[in-house]
Amino acid sequence: MGTSSTFGGQSGGTPLVPSWLGNEGSPSAAPDGAAPPNGNGAPPAQPPAGPPAPPARPPVPPTADPTRFSAARNNFSRFAGSGGDDRKALGRAVSHYVGSSSGGARTAAARMGSARGAGSRLLGFLSDAARRGATEALRALNLGALAGRPIEEIFLGLADYVCPDGGTIDEGIAREAFIETIADLAGAGITDLDGLTPDQMQTVFELYATNAIEARLCNDIGLKTVTLPSDSRQAARVQAQLNDFIRRAVADALTTARAAAAALTPDRVLAFVGGIYEQAFGILQIMGDAEAEGA
């Protein structure tokens, strides 16, 4: 999958005996097991003691349960089928996704993959823009021509920096989330990158992290296999409720980490973003359990 080329296995001409073990062109052994002399009668060089040791490689991870997303998918189907009315099913879907399907908040955060890197690059750029101004932050990325342009144009120009499109599903999720974030900027009242406040910077990252988690969840549970309501308004309501549910968790995680965000340094951005994702997933599971219980 993605841009990697496939390997079809060894060809039929590949020898069964590796070349470093010798071949038919090697000198034959001398009688009584003595090593044959070389061409000038001198004793032959001693052969190597054996093949080089293979490099150490990490163990192959165990195969995951192929049915691990079933409970989350089934409950989300019930939620979608209700047109967004069955909140308990939504809670169970999210709780199962974090706890059972993903193996807990830490593993769920690790699964964010490219979205962690993209989130850190986005947050790093926003911090630089707030500190030095948008023009200098853009010049640092060789994007100075975007200075003074509408914020949507600036963010579109940042897309290849924030989330390079490598063709994998993981990279596609990160890019899709960023494009959704650009569409959300106007609704959040964020129109001026030069006048970006700390609260607005948090809002931009909150939007991105929310969209990334939603895209990851929907891709994992196979949202295309879920029957959404035929009524477009009900389908939009289902999606809006899921997005709002996730955003509440991300907002709570960011509020908890506000002090760390204020003292954020460039070398700690990636760890900070990973921590936000982990906290958000943990909060999502708690919220899901509470919703499932009707609290």
Render pLDDT for 200-235 as a digit per residue (tens, 0 to 9).
999 999 999 999 999 999 999 876 667 777 788 888
Pick out the chain residues at pLDDT < 50: 1-35
- Read off the amino acid at residue 280: A
Tokens of 245: 């549910």
Q: Note the Cα 156 to chain centre separation in Å.
A: 20
Q: Which of 251, 185, 242, 175 is nearest to 214 (CA)?
A: 242
Hey, CA dihedral for 101, 104, 109, 110, is it positive or negative?
negative
* Cβ-contact 167, 156 below 8 angstroms: no
CA distance 204 to 191: 11
pLDDT at position 47 is: 58
How many Cα neighbours within 13 Å face the side chain of 266?
4
**CA torsion 77→80→86→90, rounded to 10°?**
70
3-class state of residue 170 by DSSP: helix
pLDDT at position 224 is: 60
How many Cα neighbours within 13 Å face the side chain of 114?
21
Backbone angle region of 183, left / alpha / beta, with phi > 0 → left and psi within -120 to 50 → alpha: alpha
Largest separation between any pair of C-alpha atoms in the chain: 93
pLDDT at position 295 is: 55
pLDDT at position 42 is: 58
pLDDT at position 28 is: 44
